[in-house]
Structure 1
Amino acid sequence: MQTIYHDFVIDVPREMVFKAISTPEGLNNWWTFRCKGTPGLNEKYNLYFAEEYDWFATVSKFEENEVIEFSMTDAMDEWLPTQFGFILKKENTDHTYIQFYHKNWKEVSQEFRIASYCWANLLRQLKQYLEKGIITPFEERN
């Protein structure tokens, strides 16, 4: 199985990062078009991007302000049965070190490579959103 990794620092407190990666409001500001779900272990999320990308995931790991992992339950075939998650480490009161992963890809396919590139861009948008308040319109995200 293959894994995508991205590590980076965001210059805001860990609690702000966790809210942006675990709540529908936060996710909508940098990733999804429309998201529904409640942060918590075993909770279900609807990750809606477009009619043909109306996906679902379950929270498989959850430690408030430290870890969240989503297990994909309904998505395009290559995303099943992958999991993606965030591990947050407090650098100091105003800096958060993030370890992002997207694991259990069956192979290094074209979709794996596209997803890795897209995650890098989206995580940069997460950083811009939290540090500068910039919300990239959904149509301009990739």
Structure 2
Amino acid sequence: MESFDIYHDLPIKASAAKTFEGISNPEHLKNWWPLRCSGKPEKGAVYNFYFGPEYNWFAEVVSCRPDSAFHLSMTKSDADWDPTSFGFDIQRKEEGILLKFRHTGWPERNAHFRRSSFCWAMLLNGLKNYLEKGIIIPFEERE
């Protein structure tokens, strides 16, 4: 069965350690993605991404290498997201890092897939601004 994938690469002027915290620590995640978040950055841990009552989603950590990689597999979300996995790889660069993001395993390249690709780009830009400048976009204004 064919599946579809989303990829984004993002240069960030921050250390690998600070970036890893930004993508794996619930206290930082909620500053650029979900309204509330819980979980521990360790393989097998369960994360809860809460976006509102209808969007109370869960994922399991499938790979966690501090300052290097963080990947999750969705376990409870919606029909389009459930079969997917997403994650981040951190490459050190001369000035900061290159964050390589992927969201794989989409069953269809439908409107939700296209919207999610756009939203990830916007959210990742929010992550960049959060890590580089400390900017937190209010949850209601995030894509």
Of the three residues 55, 75, 78, the one matched with 1:73 is 75
User: Could you tell me the TM-score, scaled by structure 1's length?
Assistant: 0.97
Partner SS state of residue 77, structure 1: coil
Residue number in structure 1 paired with 2:43: 41
Residue number in structure 2 paired with 1:29: 31
Deviation at 1:8, TM superposition (A): 1.3
Equivalent pairs, count: 141
Counterpart AA for 2:132 = E
Deviation at 1:98, TM superposition (A): 0.8
For structure 1, the residue ranges without an aligned partner over 5 or more in a row are none
Deviation at 1:31, TM superposition (A): 0.2
User: Could you tell me the TM-score, scaled by structure 2's length?
Assistant: 0.97
Correspondences of 1:46-125 after superposition (within 5 Å): 46-92=48-94, 94-125=95-126
CA distance in 2, matches of 1:113, 1:58: 24
Counterpart AA for 1:76 = D
Partner SS state of residue 80, structure 2: helix
What is the RMSD of the two structures over their aligned residues, measured on CA atoms? 0.7
Q: Deviations over 1:34-79 (max 9, x none)?
A: 0010110010001000000000000011111101101000001100
Partner SS state of residue 34, structure 2: coil
For structure 2, the residue ranges without an aligned partner over 5 or more in a row are none
Counterpart AA for 1:115 = S
Identity percentage of aligned residues: 45
Deviation at 1:130, TM superposition (A): 0.6
CA distance in 1, matches of 2:77, 2:19: 25
Residue number in structure 2 paired with 1:136: 137
